[in-house]
Amino acid sequence: MKKPFGLLFATALMAVGSLNAQAQDDIPEDMKALMTKHTCIACHRVDQRLVGPAYKEVAKKKYTDAQIVELIYNPKPANWPGYPPMAAMKQVPKDDALKLAKWINSMGGKAPAKKKA
């Protein structure tokens, strides 16, 4: 009787893995490369909570691109209660962080225009 349960469990795990792979396929190749290079993909997904919030949830916060870059370098755990604190990712080059921020904001959380002084 243990074999059918084991087979069912293995099938369920493969289905979940397939869904995760499909969600990851929705990421443009250039963004996937950056997120892999800088280990973002280890904790974040496009539209589901993992260790950190989904990118679509971040987009809903309507941060500016510059604010997202700053949060990559200096995370603010108070902004995301219920999640473990993110490590500061100061090794990410600013150009890469800005590309990621623009992509995150392209998911529907349009950043407000900067006010001119």
What pLDDT tens digit does each residue of the chain (117 aa) get? 444 444 433 443 444 443 444 445 578 999 999 999 999 999 999 999 999 999 999 999 999 999 999 999 999 999 999 999 999 999 999 999 999 999 999 997 454 555 454
CATH, domain range 28-105: 1.10.760.10
Reported pTM: 0.71
Domain range annotation of the chain: 28-105
Q: How far is CA 100 from each of CA 20, 39, 47, 58, 75, rounded to the nearest angstrom?
A: 20, 12, 15, 12, 15
pLDDT of residue 110: 52
d(CA 79, CA 85): 10
d(CA 87, CA 114): 28
Q: Is 86 exposed, middle or buried (0-12, 13-18, 19+ CB in 10 A)?
A: buried
Residue 56 backbone dihedrals phi, psi, to 5 degrees: -65, -35
Tokens of 117: 């002084």
